[in-house]
Every structure is written in C-alpha cells, then in structure tokens.
Amino acid sequence: MFYIKLKVLIQYCCNCHLLQINQKNKFNRPINRYRLFFGPPIIGIGFFWPSNNRYRLCMNVTYNDPTATLLTSLNCCLDDGSNYQELLLEMTRQKTVPNVFVNKTHIGGCDKTMQAHKDGILQKLLCGESEVYEYDLIVIGGGSGGLACSKEAATLGKKVMVLDYVVPTPKGNSWGLGGTCVNVGCIPKKLMHQTALLGTSMQDARKFGWEHNWETMKTAVNNYIGSLNWGYRVALRDKNVNYVNSYAEFIEPHKIKATNKRGKETFHTAAKFILATGERPRYLGIPGDKEYCITSDDLFSLPHCPGKTLVIGASYVALECGGFLAGLGLDVTVMVRSILLRGFDQDMANRAGEHMEEHGVKFLRKYVPVKVEELEAGTPGRLKVTAKSTESDETIEGEYNTVLIAVGRDACTGKIGLDQAGVKVNPKNGKVPVNDEEQTNVPHIYAIGDILEGKWELTPVAIQAGKLLARRLYAGASLKCDYVNVPTTVFTPLEYGACGHSEEKAIELYGQDNLEVYHSLFWPLEFTVPNRDNNKCYSKIICNKLDNDRVIGFHYLGPNAGEVTQGYGAAMKCGLTKEQLDNTIGIHPTCAEIFTTMEVTKSSGGDITQAGC
C-alpha cells in the first residue's frame, strides 16, 4: 500500500513543479504519516518520524516569486515505509533524501539543489523569462491612442499621417478629434462617476457625524475600534496564544516578571524573546505640557470638539492631524521648529505643506513653545502658549482651545529591564539596534516594529517583519524584511505617497551625477470641474543611471496616494525601470497614469505643467 501511494505522489509531482522529499531520521524506520503541501508553483512532499531527535534535513531556497507559498496541508496514514528507498531509487535513480524535482526536471539531493540555486538554475526553471511584445505603429484614427502614437513617431523623425472620421450616430451626433475617450467615453464617464461618488459620500457622511458633530464621530470611531480590540483577543484565543494583560520586565536574560493592574506578579521564562513594545508620543518638557496639552493618544477619544487648535510639531502625525482638523472646519495653526516631515523627501514635504497653507492651515515657522498656561477651564477651555523664535530672542503669545503635541515618539524600552537581559539600546532615544534578522546583541532576544533603530515606523512593516522573523526562527525560512522598498502614505489633505529613497538620500548614496529625476505636475480630472488645485499635484521618480535607470525613489502628491503607491511599490520590489514605466499602458483617466508618460527631467529645467488630459 505504501509503495502505491508513494509512487502516485512522485508521479504527480514529476508532472508538476517541485517534489521535495525530506528525511528526518537517519535510520530505516517505518514511516507512519506523510504531509503533502500545495503551493503553486511549488509542491513538496515531506516524510516525518515521531522519534526524530538526531537531525533535520531541510531545503531553504528563497525566490522572488510571491506565489511560491504553502497553502494547505493534507495528512494521511501510511502502512509501511521501511523499504521506501528502493522505490525512490527505482523511480528517481536516487534513494537518498531530500529528492527534488523542478518543472519535471530532476535536480537531486540537498547539495545539488543548493548548487542549482546558487547557479540560478532553480530560478530559471521556476520563473522563466517574461515574454516581450513589440507593437506595429500604424496610425489610423485620431483618438487618444492614435494621437499619442503619431506624436511619438514624429518625435523620432518619421513622416506621419493621421486619418480620423466620426460617423454620425442615428441621432446625428458627431464630435471632433480625440476619439471616444475624450468625447463620449472615459472623461465624461469619470466626471459623472465622481458626481455619483459625491452623492454617496454625502449620505455616508452622516454616519461619521457630518455636518459636523464631533461627539457623534468620536463615538462611531471608538465603537469600531472596540470591535477590533475584541477581534484581536478572539484571534489569540483561537490560535491558542495565552494572552496576559500584565506589564513585563526582564529580571534575567531568560526570565521576566509580569505585573497586572492589581499589582499581582507572575514570572515567566522563554528560550527566545521578541521586543515589540512600540512607541508613545513625546512631550516637550516645558511648563504646562502634560497638564494642559494633548497628544494623538488623546485626540481620537476627546469627548468634545477641540475648537481652535495649535498643533506643535512637523511630523506626519502633526500634519495629518492638523489637516483633518482643518478639513472639519476648525481654526488650525501648526508650529514648526525647522523642516516638515524629517526623513521624507523635502521637495514633496514642502509641496504638501504649501497645499495645506493654501487651504487655510496657518504655519508658525522657526518657533518652539516654552510655556503653556490655562486661562479658562472648560470643554474646551482656553490656553495661552508662549513661544520663542529659533533665530532670535523674539517671543510670541497666542490663545487656543486645544494644544496638540506631535513632536515625535519615544521607544517604550526604558522600563522593561533590558539592562538585566544585557540588551543594548541607543541611550538618546531608547531605540534597539538589531542586525538584518532583527536580532539584538543578545542572541535569543529579537526586536521588531517602531523600536528598531533606523527602521520605518509603520504598522505593515512591523507585521511583515514579525511574520518573517517567526518563519525564520521556527519554520526554517530565510526571507528577511525589506526595509528599503517600503510604500507609505502621509494622509495630508493632499496625500503624499512614497516608496524607496528620498531625493536627498539617493544623492547621498549614489551621487547626483548618477541619478536622473523625472517629474511632472498634473491636474486630476475630478478637480477640473470645481476648478481647484490646478497643477498642484506632483509626481517624480528617481532613477539610477548606473543600473539601467532602475527606479530607486517613487513620490506622488495627489488624491488616493495610498492606492496609487501600493501597486508601484510592488513593481519596485521587482526592479522597476524607467523603460518599463514608459512601456506600460496607463489607465485613462487616472492620476496614476502620470508615471507612464513622464518625460521632463529636473536637470533639463523643462516645463512640467500639464495643459490637459
């Protein structure tokens, strides 16, 4: 019975993508079960012995193909496997394991498989090469495609004739040059679609408390957050994770003390630890900051409308909060010590700030607060803020209902006993230095998320790093988190999406002469009819000329930045180049298509304004 089952499995996998047979016991002992994993384009078979304590053979091969994942497992009982090696020899001419097939090609054992991976053979067998298409450019028709084609051909020195004729409809309607899209297709459709979306949004807005009721909005938001909190607890329970609501503190390298809200202490040990304590908002250290000011930890559950608000800081939290408060119709001022969005591309940051300023947000630049006083208690009350110039001895005063501090965040590492475990931290900010596998200087202690030194402080990054770390630790995986090609969006009123390097960082790493920056202004179609923000949206890509014009920085300022940036982030993971962007057909009319038609470089000094679609 065993031979029949094994033979069927081998034949099945030989006709598929990958067969992987793993032995976990050096002795010829009976096999009592097997596991079959399905995960296109990889399929693997592993045999397991319950008495395995000697060694584990595993093949870890990293591919860029994200579809190479394990999807399901099937457990079955086998009758007898004492002579399975003879069957393997008969079918594969190899009786040792692991025994690997890729796309019907027998690779061999572990050494041969790893060598094939090193030589690039596995990658070629699994992925293959993308098919390249070339298009014949014959211009018949004066629609969007024909016009673009003819203009490009003319630029290349070709003699071009454009033929276009519109047969009238039965009602006698016809139109001019430009084709269906401009006249009776994409453009009018999108504008009417936007009208419908606005109508829907006005109906949905009542659920968020518009016109505007802060208390209703706050209650709705917090009710939803509460449902998420409960869902996380249920998920832990379903995964058999023991959740304990207590504060943890190392007392030994492998031992922690857990203290609950009643002061009850329990002690726990572990072989490995992962630090994922996150960060909290930083206060100013000035008179009145903790007594009278709030942070983002307080804002979203504030029981009353904040009224006239001073936002202190230039972080993404400061600009996002200031932006949406202004969007709710509140009087908002942002006090900035130096630059906006430190660490982000400064060209983009300044453009986002300028847009906020044009839409009513006031900026106090080159000032820092020195004192906050309460003038009148209330909901909201009245506060007086005294600030000092960073460039002179000038001081100013202002009155506000709410002062929101958003000057940065501090890692929550100072009171968890890391010194008892021997873990090193940056004394200036409490951040934890790690290697490329999120391992601290203590081998059995790891760290992920916002507390990492020099890494992105983003929830999806932490989630990805955590998953990959667990797989490396306990599943024999090798894939590490990519901290460079991380797509992110700052949700300012005009959203800013980015992936890869800022222009400043790219110059630092590669040198200005080795870079080409393509950029363009654009006017979203949905902004045209209300006639707002003409040529305020902006996009640019930073290309490495020494690496086939590979895109190493992607930046977008416009509506739906997160939706736009997400897809390009995936493309950058695959080594996106300028030529590939140029050869990509854009979806029209969209904002994202601007990246498929960018021609003007910063170095040329050419005009980047857009006259139309």
- Tell whether the torsion through CA atoms of 192, 197, 201 and 204 is positive or negative: positive
The whole-angstrom separation of Cα 569 and Cα 500 is 8
Q: What are phi and psi of 398, to 5 degrees?
A: -150, 150
Cα dihedral value 431, 433, 439, 443, nearest 10: -100
Beta bridge partners of 540: 519, 555
Distance CA 143, CA 136 (A): 17
Residue closest to 403 by CA, chosen among 312, 305, 336: 312
- What are the CA-CA distances from residue 56 to residues 11, 47, 50, 477, 518 (Å)? 25, 11, 12, 14, 51
* Beta strand ranges found along 65-139 (DSSP E): 72-77, 99-102, 105-108
Nearest to 288, CA basis, from 419, 390, 215, 385: 385
- Concatenating the DSSP letter of every residue in 297-348 gives HHHTT-SS---SEEEE--SHHHHHHHHHHHHTT--EEEEESS-SSTTS-HHH
**Nearest by Cα to 568 from 502, 498, 479, 506:** 498
What whole-number distance in Å separates Cα of residue 63 and Cα of residue 592? 29
Asked whether the beta carbons of 18 and 43 are under 8 A apart, the reply is yes
Q: Which two tokens stand for residue 69?
A: 């994942």
Q: Token match 């090469």: residue?
A: 129
Bridge partner list, 489: 497
Prior bond to 41 cis, omega within 30? Answer: yes
How many C-beta atoms surround the C-beta of residue 386 within 10 A?
16
Q: Hey, what are 548's tokens? A: 């086939």
Displacement of CA 84 from its chain's centroid (Å): 47
Helix (H, G, I), strand (E, B) or coil at 245: coil
Annotated active-site positions, please?
588
**For residues 412 and 452, what is the distance between their CA atoms, to the nearest angstrom?**
11
Residue 318, CA atoms < 13 Å, CB-side half-sphere: 29
Q: Do residues 545 and 526 lie in contact, with contact meaning Cβ atoms separated by under 8 Å?
A: no
Distance of CA 502 to the CA centre of its chain: 16
- Give backbone dihedrals phi and psi of 160, rounded to 5 degrees, phi first: -125, 135
**CB-side neighbour CA atoms (13 Å) of 124:** 7
Please report where in the chains the tokens 């986002």 appear, as a residue: 352
